[in-house]
Structure 1
Amino acid sequence: MTPPALQLDDVLSAEQLTGTGEFILAHQSEDGAIPWFRGGQLDPWDHIEAAMGLTTLGHHEAALAAYAWSARTQAADGSWPMEQRDGVVTEAASDTNQCAYIATGIWHYHLVTGSTQVLRRYWPTIDRAIAFVLRQQRPGGELAWAVSADRRPDDYGLRTGSASALHSITCALEIASVLGESRPGWERAAGRLRDALVERPECFSDRSRYSMDWYYPVLGGALRGLEAGSALADRWAEFVWPGYGVRCVNDHPWVTAAESSELVMALDAIGETSSAITILSDIQRMRDETTGGYWTGYVVDDSAIWPEEQTTWTAASVVLAVDAVTGTTGGSGIFRDYALIEEREADDAAS
């Protein structure tokens, strides 16, 4: 049976999204790596995000090539460098959130394709990555946001990074369950991380001007239900610019396609589909119909695209957001259906 084509009525056609897939493919290197754009930087998180976009659009072999690249280039300690260009490391520090994201990507591939073989193939990579990330957990439960080039963990955590890593750890636990692997230490660490995100904001460096710090605890699954709805409502007017999208920071008139798409997925995760689709519609001004890609951002006061770059991960975030609100593929619930809080509430009810 041919799977249904991804599309969103009155917003993006199947043909347009096919073009977006071709845009991402055009920037993938022969070795499977997916930089921001040809000749641009590559980081391990955005590389995986782009691969997830390819998976969603049916480019499964290209996505597998991206994951194979990740496995080949993983360091012995389970990490990847924060930035490289054309295979040359330009920033040797390692971001914990970026290193964890391989688990989200592989779990997403399994959800879309049903392949458990892929879970088995990449389990050693995921196991090493999550072990590396959790070695950086601090006493308060938060994750040190990065490990320096000489392998010293930073002495502070970031709310966005920790929330994203929480979701990746949740996905890794799902993979472990399918494969019959037991990781109770991961479960305990994830619980401590979730508690830090919800109950101990003082554990994190203040980045409250950034919209990601606002919506990522919902996107990453630390918050759900009324608590999540209240958190998004509290700062909605601060970050959402009606007709344009979501600001990157609250003190600049710059909306970005990726942050907007991530908020779409956070809204979908709590059932606010109508608001999610409105935001998806608003950001189509950043689409380039010639390439099928998306400009990174738009400065509303100047009516100007900025910066003048189209990135693979921005395009992929739009694809993932469309899938989330339409439920087209088996991976559409990657953020909606895998939240640690739901598991914890089930455990509480049973006890």
Structure 2
Amino acid sequence: MTTPRRTEHLVLPGVLTAEEAAATVRGILAVQRPDGAIPWFRGHHLDPWDHTEAAMALDAAGEHEAAERAYEWLARHQNEDGSWYAAYADGDFEDVTDRGRETNFCAYIAVGVWHHYLATGDDVFLDRMWPAVFAAVEFVLRLQQPGGQIGWKREDDGRAVEDALLTGSSSVHHALRCALAIAEQREEPQPDWELAVGALRHAIRLHPERFLDKDHYSMDWYYPVLGGALTGAEAKSRIEEGWDRFVVPGLGVRCVVPNPWVTGGESAELALALWAVGESDRALEILQSIQHLRDPKSGLYWTGYVFEDRAVWPEELTTWTAGSLLLAVAALGGDEATCAVFGGERLPAGLDPDCCAPTR
């Protein structure tokens, strides 16, 4: 295995040394299949969202060719309606294990493609991926509800699941803004998308009743911030409201309250959200707190830890956990593409609807 190309900005005190960062990148590369697919780990499934997150981490480390192969895998295996299935066994596109088509999974290609473009400046790549991004966004917006929220998924039989998840819709909000950035770069305005992202942000900010009640999941706490729907004082207020419920000092972030289980992916994503609202010191503390999940042999990270039992669970080293950590470190380290994508200030905002004065 060759040495990863760019890891100097992935060095962070108490989190990663240069050697550890390189080992983590090599760990993801070792899981990637020759056709570009990045499953959770070899023998487990691939889902399009986590596949994209791992590809973004490779771009943050300068592994642009490997990341491009990951996006080309998506473009080759996109369904006719613009979607992807929720799970492919070991990344084998012919072995679908979950034929649901989840909206946030499908939208996330826009985040990855925009991140890759910012990292490489490759206009040819952007042109080549535009049809896949466009089709994916159109698939997702066909499930947008009158209140702005995004229906969760479409079943294999074609039935639309209209119930909306706050985490998923917040991720879609981020993806739509990246899709608009791609459209602007290509000088192909998408006014319907601008209206859609504004309506979605309005729902996330002001209408919690339009989403399924999952507030015992930490992702529902921080994702409106990470996805850019809440900013400034609103974002900081939300972080403070949930801090004591979800953060376990010295161990990381609970996945679900009240379970005594911290998870690496949620912890790293919270660190990204903290960085985005200017809380870099707390972001660093969170990343430092989950180094007990690192496997020194592979450079990857265990999914989670049951602290009452002092046990790693489940016993799996996932590419997306490592990917989320690398992206958080890259943001704290000032990686330009990662900062632009997750900072949000340079992403198009869309058009807010003229209704419902803010009440927070």
Q: TM-score range by the shorter chain?
A: over 0.9
Cα distance per residue 1:165-218 (max 9 Å; x no partner): 000000000000000011000000110000010111110011110000000000
Residue 258 of structure 1: aligned partner: 265
Q: 1:74 to 1:35 in 2, by over 3 A?
A: same
* Percentage of identical aligned residues: 51
3-state SS of the aligned residue for 2:302?
Answer: coil
Amino acid of the structure 2 residue aligned with 1:298: Y
Native 8 Å contact 2:197 2:351 kept in 1: no
Aligned mates of 1:115, 1:265 — CA distance in 2:
26
Paired positions, count = 345
Aligned mates of 2:294, 2:172 — CA distance in 1:
29
Aligned mates of 1:341, 1:66 — CA distance in 2:
25
Aligned mates of 1:244, 1:258 — CA distance in 2:
13
Match of 2:248 among 241, 251, 267: 241
Native 8 Å contact 1:94 1:149 kept in 2: yes
Residue 67 of structure 1: aligned partner: 71
3-state SS of the aligned residue for 2:97?
Answer: strand
Q: 1:339 to 1:165 in 2, by over 3 A?
A: farther
Aligned mates of 1:141, 1:261 — CA distance in 2:
28
Q: Which structure 2 residue ranges, 5 or more long, are not aligned? A: 355-360
Within a 5 Å distance, the mapping from 1:155-194 to structure 2 comes to: 155-194=162-201
Aligned mates of 2:349, 2:104 — CA distance in 1:
22
Residue 19 of structure 1: aligned partner: 23
Residue 76 of structure 1: aligned partner: 80
Are 2:59 and 1:55 aligned?
yes
Please report how far the alpha carbon of residue 144 of structure 1 lies from its aligned counterpart in structure 2 after TM superposition.
0.5
Are 2:39 and 1:32 aligned?
no
Amino acid of the structure 1 residue aligned with 2:40: W
Native 8 Å contact 1:34 1:66 kept in 2: yes
Aligned mates of 2:351, 2:271 — CA distance in 1:
25
Residue 278 of structure 1: aligned partner: 285
Aligned mates of 1:322, 1:223 — CA distance in 2:
22
The alignment yields a C-alpha RMSD, in angstroms, of: 1.7
Residue 358 of structure 2: aligned partner: none
Q: Which structure 1 residue ranges, 5 or more long, are not aligned? A: none
Q: 1:339 to 1:228 in 2, by over 3 A?
A: farther
With structure 1 as the length reference, what TM-score do the two structures score? 0.95
Native 8 Å contact 1:222 1:340 kept in 2: no
Native 8 Å contact 1:221 1:341 kept in 2: no
Please report how far the alpha carbon of residue 159 of structure 1 lies from its aligned counterpart in structure 2 after TM superposition.
0.2
3-state SS of the aligned residue for 1:149?
Answer: coil
Cα distance per residue 1:1-40 (max 9 Å; x no partner): x966121123211110110011001111111111001111
Residue 323 of structure 1: aligned partner: 330
Aligned mates of 2:296, 2:327 — CA distance in 1:
18
Native 8 Å contact 1:156 1:204 kept in 2: yes
Aligned mates of 1:108, 1:294 — CA distance in 2:
23
Native 8 Å contact 1:264 1:276 kept in 2: yes
3-state SS of the aligned residue for 2:305?
Answer: strand
Runs of 4+ aligned structure 1 residues displaced above 4 Å come to 338-345
Match of 1:301 among 293, 305, 308: 308
Cα distance per residue 1:138-184 (max 9 Å; x no partner): 11110101100011110210000000000000000000000001100
